[in-house]
Structure 1
């Protein structure tokens, strides 16, 4: 069995997974993140990127070899 984490993947795959994760986070928590960003004077896009990276560790990666 092969175990991989996010950093073992090529750049193209990493970018695709980050984009997918960003969409997932925005759909699930977009309004809450916007409110938090406004309240704490944080750039929403940076906050969204950070949450998307954290969200990647919740994914189970399955590869066809």
Structure 2
């Protein structure tokens, strides 16, 4: 799931991933999420930082 903005504001994006997207697709988290940084934080305004949040998943039992 893409996140745009400061790294310390990823919480709502992860919550949307875990609470909305995964259940809607019959999945649940499995393990820790991973972050792929697409911008250099030394040269990019924090409001424009782009990150890909990846979450390993498994089928939910419900």
User: TM-score band (shorter)?
Assistant: 0.3 to 0.5
Larger CA Rg, structure 1 vs 2 = 1
What is the TM-score of this pair, normalised by structure 2?
0.33
Q: TM-score, normalised by structure 1?
A: 0.32
Write 1 or 2 for the structure with the bigger share of helix.
1
Q: Which structure is higher in RCO with an 8 Å CA cutoff and minimum separation 6? A: 2
User: Between Structure 1 and Structure 2, which shows a larger proportion of strand residues?
Assistant: 2
